[in-house]
């Protein structure tokens, strides 16, 4: 099979010419960054060369499809590869296979553009392999155990132990793009096209451009998964209540608390992320005192009516929105992160006025970062304040016998699912 001819690239010597296929070339840069250099997809997107930045959204869509279905794509490609190609060539093949099997790119365009991504000696290989995938791939992919192949073994084992057979539905949810969820400032009318969830989130179909939603453009709404909106909801912030929001950036929960009228102090230790927190609050016209500090060492000199601790964690609950997570996290990260959460929880407890309320949350599906932390919190002098079903309409299934909240990507599956969060509420005794 003859590879398509490749015209010379234009550009003056020394200048970086715009790639012949800028979207695919940006997608390849993203996949290489995550899989070969272990950088986050978000970081990789931010560092795309300016010439490729305009192709960001389309490139992100392709790269996300590759990362979501990596195991399945590799299983389809494997029979056609006699030798291991260099990583960048393998990633170009993965992009081509994703376009053919998942993104409905016409075969000629998918094959020709991926041939263009690789050094000339590999053009014939990419052309031949992708043509075979175009012919036999759809049938081959239908026969695979995709949920299993697309989930790292250690996560499958951990989720099976924690959730039993639901591991399959969780893995299935991770293979699909997530809907766009917005939190709205109180009083904002229901945006056109939104499905209003019983807990107050405005949901739009996956692929909706946030900038095209008037409520967002007007500064009345911000992106926040339906599950991520629950911790602040359960804190029950009221006008005038003093609230410490620990580990606050980029500020989705700070915005909820400030919009409810609370007097919020947002504590965050990462200066760069504080910049994003400030920008987000300013876009929304909301106010909070922002403190750059390590929350375990912060001594404000006054106690708070309530504290929200959204602790750093493995983020395995957010895989639908961050498909790079399974490729970046390792089993050893879980105990390391869990060891950070316990001192944060102890520090948070010390900031509470007597009778004050504390909500602890992590966006993780790993019980070590959720249930185990909540159990240990009693040692910090905290008293349980169980969540009642009427507080979370339609989410009875997420409330545990202890009165904690455990959301999973397979909950509300018919409505588009939700991120995996653990939430526990306490009072200072």
Ligand X SMILES: C[S@@+](CC[C@H](N)C(=O)[O-])C[C@H]1O[C@@H](n2cnc3c(N)ncnc32)[C@H](O)[C@@H]1O
Query: Is-contact 30 43, C-beta < 8 A?
Result: no
Query: Does residue 106 have a known ligand-binding role?
Result: no
Among 55, 99, 116, 268, binds ligand X (CB under 6 A): 268
Helix 87-101 crosses helix 22-35 at what angle (to 10 degrees)?
A: 120
Among 34, 44, 182, 267, binds ligand X (CB under 6 A): 267
Q: For strands 352-362 and 405-406, give the pairing.
A: unpaired
Closest CB to ligand X: residue number: 247
Query: What is the rounded CA–CA span in Å between residue 321 and residue 329?
Result: 15
Residues 6+ apart with CB under 8 A from 161: none
- Binding to ligand X by residue 43, rule CB under 6 A? no
State in angstroms the smallest separation of the CB of 272 from ligand X: 9
Q: Which region among 57-65, 150-158, 244-252, 419-427 touches ligand X (by CB under 6 A)?
A: 244-252
Query: What is the rounded CA–CA span in Å between residue 218 and residue 200?
Result: 19
Query: Is-contact 129 92, C-beta < 8 A?
Result: no
In this complex, which beta carbon is closest to ligand X, that of residue 252 or of residue 417? 252
Query: Does residue 247 have a known ligand-binding role?
Result: yes
State in angstroms the smallest separation of the CB of 44 from ligand X: 19
Query: Does residue 294 have a known ligand-binding role?
Result: yes
- Count of residues binding ligand X (CB under 6 A)? 18
State in angstroms the smallest separation of the CB of 337 from ligand X: 10
State in angstroms the smallest separation of the CB of 297 from ligand X: 8
- Binding to ligand X by residue 391, rule CB under 6 A? no
- Binding to ligand X by residue 321, rule CB under 6 A? no
**Looking only at residues 327 through 346 of this chain, which bind ligand X when binding is defined by CB under 6 A?**
344
Among 172, 208, 296, 400, binds ligand X (CB under 6 A): 296
Q: Show the tokens assigned to 270.
A: 């990462």
244: phi then psi, degrees, rounded to nearest 5: -100, 125
> What contacts 24+ positions apart, CB below 8 Å, involve 391-396?
391/233, 391/234, 392/199, 392/230, 392/233, 392/234, 393/198, 393/199, 394/197, 394/198, 394/199, 395/198, 395/199
- Binding to ligand X by residue 270, rule CB under 6 A? yes
Query: Is-contact 326 319, C-beta < 8 A?
Result: yes
Question: For 426, which DSSP code?
Answer: E
Query: Does residue 252 have a known ligand-binding role?
Result: yes
The question of whether 313 is a catalytic residue gets the answer: no
Choosing from 98, 363, 392, 411, the catalytic residue is: 363
Which residues face 196 on adjacent strands? Answer: 202
- Binding to ligand X by residue 273, rule CB under 6 A? yes
Q: Binding residues for ligand X, per CB under 6 A?
A: 247-253, 267-270, 273, 294-296, 310, 312, 344
In the annotated binding site, the residues are: 247-253, 268, 294, 310
Catalytic residues: 363
């Amino acid at each position: 099979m003859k590879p398509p001819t490749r015209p010379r690239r234009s550009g003056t010597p020394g200048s970086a010419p715009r790639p012949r296929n800028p979207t695919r070339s940006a997608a390849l840069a993203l996949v290489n960054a995550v899989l070969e250099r272990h950088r986050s997809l978000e970081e990789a997107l931010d560092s795309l060369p300016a010439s490729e930045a305009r192709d960001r959204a389309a490139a992100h869509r392709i790269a996300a499809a590759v990362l979501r279905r990596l195991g399945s794509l590799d299983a389809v490609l494997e029979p056609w590869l006699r030798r291991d190609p260099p990583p960048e060539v393998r990633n170009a093949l993965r992009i081509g296979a994703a376009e053919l099997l998942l993104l409905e790119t016409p075969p000629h365009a998918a094959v020709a553009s991926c041939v263009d991504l690789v050094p000339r000696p590999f053009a014939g290989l990419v052309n031949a392999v992708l043509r075979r995938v175009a012919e036999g791939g759809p049938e081959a992919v239908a026969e695979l155990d995709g949920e299993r192949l697309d989930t790292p073994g250690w996560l499958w084992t951990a989720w099976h132990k924690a959730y039993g057979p639901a591991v399959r539905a969780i893995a299935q949810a991770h293979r699909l793009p997530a809907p766009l969820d917005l939190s709205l400032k109180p009083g904002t009318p229901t945006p056109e096209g939104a499905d209003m969830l019983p807990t107050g989130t405005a949901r739009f179909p996956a692929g909706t451009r946030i900038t095209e939603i008037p409520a967002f453009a007007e500064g009345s709404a911000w992106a926040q998964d339906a599950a991520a909106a629950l911790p602040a909801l359960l804190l029950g912030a009221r006008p005038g209540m003093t609230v410490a929001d620990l580990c606050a950036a980029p500020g989705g929960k700070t915005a909820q608390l400030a919009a409810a009228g609370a007097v919020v102090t947002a504590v965050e230790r990462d200066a760069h992320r504080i910049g994003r927190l400030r920008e987000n609050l300013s876009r929304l016209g909301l106010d909070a005192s922002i403190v750059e500090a390590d929350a375990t060492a912060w001594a404000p000199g006054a106690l708070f009516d309530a504290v929200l601790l959204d602790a750093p964690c493995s983020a395995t609950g957010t895989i639908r929105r961050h498909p790079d997570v399974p490729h970046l996290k390792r089993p050893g990260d879980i105990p390391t992160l869990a060891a950070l959460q316990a001192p944060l929880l102890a520090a948070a407890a010390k900031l509470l006025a007597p009778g004050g309320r504390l909500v602890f949350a992590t966006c993780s599906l790993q019980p070590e970062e959720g249930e185990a932390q909540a159990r240990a919190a009693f040692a910090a002098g905290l008293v349980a304040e169980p969540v009642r079903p009427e507080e979370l309409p339609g989410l009875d299934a997420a409330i545990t016998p202890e009165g904690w909240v455990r959301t999973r990507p397979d909950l509300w599956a018919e409505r588009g699912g939700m991120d995996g969060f653990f939430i526990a509420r306490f009072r200072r005794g």
